[in-house]
């Protein structure tokens, strides 16, 4: 692995491609959690590949290659979300095609729905901790935040999730 990274840093395209392909599914999953659709997630994977290829020479510790890629993917995802935050107003004549929800329909609340209600920092930390099994120290390094802040944000996010879960159970 270190040999491949070293070759990639020296400009070996094939070595970089081999490395990137090992982690592209992880990058896609992380991007999809953020952007919530396949096309945007694929765009993030492509942008991550491009940026990581351009900046491979800045990687100081080869053992953190995957962490470095995930960090780039998170940044690309957040940038894409910010770009797409433009709201498009729906013309009234199209409302009939959408349909009206019946208020009696009981909606099941999933963990994914609950996580989506968290802010970006909370969501990212929860996903990295529980979906990707990163340690709190690794998350702090990955997100460039103090360990104490990571712990606080994680604790706050877990409290929010518990409250929302209990609230969802009561309303059903």
Residue 87's pLDDT is 46
3-state helix, strand, coil in the chain (%, to 5): 75, 0, 25
Query: Smallest Cα–Cα separation from 41: which of 26, 55, 21, 62?
Result: 26
Angle, CA of 53, 57 and 58, to the nearest 5°: 105
Residue 25's pLDDT is 92
Query: Smallest Cα–Cα separation from 116: which of 161, 162, 76?
Result: 161
Residue 94's pLDDT is 47
Angle, CA of 148, 31 and 88, to the nearest 5°: 105
Residue 116's pLDDT is 79
Question: For residues 126 and 115, is the Cβ–Cβ distance under 8 A?
Answer: yes
- The whole-model pTM stands at 0.61
The per-residue pLDDT of the chain, averaged, comes to: 80
Residue 11's pLDDT is 84
Phi and psi torsions of 74, nearest 5°: -60, -45
Question: For residues 126 and 157, is the Cβ–Cβ distance under 8 A?
Answer: yes
Residue 49's pLDDT is 93
Residue 73's pLDDT is 92
Mean pLDDT, contiguous 10-residue spans, the chain (172 residues): 85 89 92 88 93 89 88 89 64 49 44 79 85 85 88 91 73 51
Domains and CATH numbers, the chain: 2-83 (1.10.1740.10), 104-171 (1.10.10.10)
Residue 153's pLDDT is 92
d(CA 7, CA 11): 7
Query: Where do runs of H (alpha helix) occur along 36-100?
Result: 38-55, 65-83, 95-98
């Amino acid at each position: 692995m270190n040999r491949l990274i070293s070759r990639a840093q020296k400009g070996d395209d094939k070595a970089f491609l081999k490395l990137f392909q090992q982690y592209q599914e992880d990058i896609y999953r992380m991007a999809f959690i953020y952007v919530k659709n396949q096309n945007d997630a694929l765009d993030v994977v492509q942008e991550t590949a491009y940026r990581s290829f351009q900046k491979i020479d800045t990687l100081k510790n080869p053992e953190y290659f995957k962490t470095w890629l995930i960090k780039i993917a998170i940044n690309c995802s957040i940038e894409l979300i910010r770009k797409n935050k433009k709201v498009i107003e729906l013309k009234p004549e199209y409302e009939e095609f959408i349909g009206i929800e019946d208020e009696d329909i009981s909606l099941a609340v999933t963990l994914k729905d609950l996580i989506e209600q968290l802010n970006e920092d909370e969501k990212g930390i929860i996903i990295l901790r529980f979906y990707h099994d990163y340690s709190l120290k690794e998350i702090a390094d990955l997100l460039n935040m103090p360990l104490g802040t990571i712990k606080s944000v994680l604790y706050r996010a877990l409290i929010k999730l518990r409250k929302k879960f209990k609230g969802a159970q009561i309303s059903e």
